[in-house]
Structure 1
Amino acid sequence: MKNKINTIYKDAERFAEITKRAIISGNIKRAKKCLSIAEQLLETGSNETKSVISNVYVFSVSTFMELRHCNISNLFPTGLKTEYIKQINATSV
């Protein structure tokens, strides 16, 4: 079971890297496609999948976009944007 969990996290990390590479290369169409897939996983996936998308994928991509001063509002679908806002609010004191 532990291997399965590690694989899910690694898959989410790889998926985030693919999304970030698309953004870096200016392939916004591909980046939006990746974000759309992540949104679908967030909506229809198991609780474990939803947690991984939220905690690994959204965190990784949103941090990357903030560091590069990208406008998250234009790219993130509604569900991912909601998860992003939850993360920001959770870290604010």
Structure 2
Amino acid sequence: MKNKIATIYEKAERFAEITKIAIITGNISRAKRCLALAERLFETGSNETKSAISNVYVFSVSSFMEVRHCTISNLFPKSLKAEYIKQINASGV
């Protein structure tokens, strides 16, 4: 088996999948912990980490929550919510 080196963007996508599974299964406390960790990575990470959290994680999780009609404002921490709002405003939705 070959070793595959996952990029930060692939890791952010996998982390988003874990968060979405927690939401689907009703494990809101786990979803909140995932979002809190993403918030910490977004606030303290490198520029590449911040980009991956913003462009992959926030986009993936927020899109999923919108499709499922989940309330984003109750789950997203402050910085991630601000990033989500920035994305919505930039897209013209």
Equivalent residue, structure 2, for 1:25: 25
4+ long deviations beyond 3 Å: none
3-state SS of the aligned residue for 1:9?
helix
Give, in angstroms, the shift of residue 7 of structure 1.
Answer: 1.3
Secondary structure at the counterpart of residue 70 of structure 1: coil
Tell me which residue corresponds to 2:81.
81
Q: TM-score, normalised on structure 1?
A: 0.93
| TM-score under structure 2 length normalisation | 0.93
Q: What is the one-letter code of the residue matched to 1:57?
A: Y
Structure 2 gap segments, 5+ residues each: none
Root mean square deviation of aligned Cα: 1.5
Q: 1:13-92, aligned counterparts within 5 Å?
A: 13-92=13-92
Greater percentage in helix? 1
d(CA) in 1 for partners of 2:43 and 2:61?
A: 18
Query: 2:16 corresponds to which letter in structure 1?
Result: A
Cα deviations across residues 9-67 of structure 1 (Å, max 9, x unaligned)?
11000000000000000000000000000000000000110011000000000000000
